[in-house]
Structure 1
């Protein structure tokens, strides 16, 4: 298996089918699309029928779902996408090309779609922060060779900041590759909770994480809003 695309989902009946439709051009004998549901209360799994190669269930929690999906494919390259991501034809071609890469890991540029005028600024900051620091977020799509994924122990079993932590571990082994092709990410949290408030909250949580706060405590704070 050349390429395994793992998508964690929970209550994403509206967004997941759009992503899966974007990925249909990649369907091939050596490409697997794997959806891992974390206990949806809506029709997420039903609406993914026929659009993915594996539909799995696991305990809720993005890190658990990502780990479960990775464990169910033997693909040489793993690609992790959020369920509310959209993939353009150019991004799909870039993802397909990852299957021919010689290992390593990396991430994409993201364009956040929503109502706030701040979202393009947020996306630009995410891009330059990740290029400079080597720390990307799940919204940017992460890809990694199976061999390197095993070297760092896969996704850490923590309820929040799993993307930050795996990037730290991967970056300690080798630099990540920044692909300057956009994935479209959802700005719905920024729209719902207020763009400025969400920006401040996320930076505050990341700062606390880097200063040693537990992921469990940060998870409680994040989902309190």
Structure 2
């Protein structure tokens, strides 16, 4: 049913964690294939992908380009799911989605044009992590957009009708979600849990405030090119240019 696409670069540990949360769904036949699209890793990312039976592709460029490459190469799933390495879907997530897809089938396919995202959560203990969860889920509700770690699932037909991911230097997730539309997005009960340190670039620095403001303005009719300019580039924790600009960075071991 699902082809899962994961963009990586030096994501060995995060990829292993994400793949571990897909095992039960693969055993039940919900996940048919996993495509790891790599931007030039120098660690053991390729070894993890190949040892677990994933298709390993190479696509240098921003995350949006890697996500688009994975979607183009997917063959076995009628639905596409996009996940970031270091995100673990909580146990039982596949049963909720399977039940939802059964309802869509019983309705004659009505609802197949909806996109699904998970609830955002963090694995760390403490008030800081809980406040970050509240902030991210509140922002998602206010803007109709989702944090990159919430994942995204939609039918292959719907993805193609929207034009898919674009090769933007930043905010490729925001660009696609805006085309999906607030009313066509459903947040399911299952959580996508970010494991390890995560930096979305929205701290109290000048650059962080710019990035946070750009994601807030994304819920309004602000042209994407202006949002990308405001959001800016930058480097993720792993030093990859562009990944932090997209609201994503690999976890630190």
Same fold (TM over 0.5): yes
Matches within 5 A, 1:153-168: 153-168=163-178
For the residues of structure 2 that align with 1:147 and 1:29, how far apart are their CA atoms? 18
RMSD of equivalent CA atoms: 3.0
For the residues of structure 1 that align with 2:8 and 2:100, how far apart are their CA atoms? 23
Does 2:2 correspond to 1:3?
yes
- Does the CA contact (< 8 Å) of 1:37 and 1:65 recur in 2? yes
Does 2:134 correspond to 1:124?
yes
Task: Please report the TM-score for the alignment, with normalisation by the length of structure 1.
Answer: 0.83
> C-alpha displacement at 1:155, in angstroms?
0.5
Tell me which residue corresponds to 1:49.
50
For the residues of structure 1 that align with 2:202 and 2:174, how far apart are their CA atoms? 23
Match of 2:89 among 65, 78, 87: 87
Q: Deviations over 1:10-35 (max 9, x none)?
A: 10111111211221222238611111
Matches within 5 A, 1:1-225: 2-27=1-26, 28=29, 31-74=32-75, 75-97=77-99, 100=102, 101=104, 102=109, 103=112, 104-114=114-124, 117-171=127-181, 174-186=183-195, 188-190=197-199, 196-197=204-205, 200-207=209-216, 210=222, 212-213=225-226, 215=228, 218-221=231-234
> C-alpha displacement at 1:220, in angstroms?
2.4
Q: Deviations over 1:148-193 (max 9, x none)?
A: 1111100021021011110000117x521111221101462449x8
> C-alpha displacement at 1:94, in angstroms?
3.3
Task: Please report the TM-score for the alignment, with normalisation by the length of structure 2.
Answer: 0.75
Unaligned runs of 5+ in 2: 245-253
> C-alpha displacement at 1:50, in angstroms?
2.9
Corresponding pairs, count: 222
> C-alpha displacement at 1:109, in angstroms?
0.4
SS in 1 for 2:226: coil
Flag the 1:94–1:50 CA change in 2: closer, same or farther, 3 A. Answer: farther
- Does the CA contact (< 8 Å) of 2:151 and 2:192 recur in 1? yes
Unaligned runs of 5+ in 1: none
Flag the 1:29–1:77 CA change in 2: closer, same or farther, 3 A. Answer: closer
For the residues of structure 1 that align with 2:30 and 2:216, how far apart are their CA atoms? 43
SS in 1 for 2:190: strand
For the residues of structure 2 that align with 1:135 and 1:194, how far apart are their CA atoms? 15
Q: Deviations over 1:44-81 (max 9, x none)?
A: 11122232431111113210111011001132111110
